[in-house]
Amino acid sequence: MTTAEKYVTAAYCVVFALVLAYVLIMALKLQRLERDVDEIASRVSEENAEEAPREPAHVG
């Protein structure tokens, strides 16, 4: 390999390394965010169910 060819190889490796690092970090972050949103959504639906208006009933 000549010096120019080594530079081309290094450039390809650096570009792909950056892309792959971005993909890996984003994949982990998105998975965590999905879990968090699932949890918040289930809490909101539970709270909404508790706050649902009750049917009036005759007392006494």
- Kindly tell me which of 51 and 55 has the beta carbon lying closer to other proteins: 51
Options 7, 8, 18, 46; binder of other proteins; rule CB under 8 A: 8
Nearer to other proteins, 2 or 55 (CB): 2
List binders of other proteins among 31-50 (CB under 8 A): 31, 33-34, 37, 40-41, 44, 48
Give the DSSP letter of residue 52.
Answer: S
Decide: 18 and 10 in contact? Cβ < 8 Å. no
CA distances from 44 to 14, 34, 35, 36, 37 (A): 44, 15, 14, 12, 10
- 11 is a site residue for other proteins (CB under 8 A): no
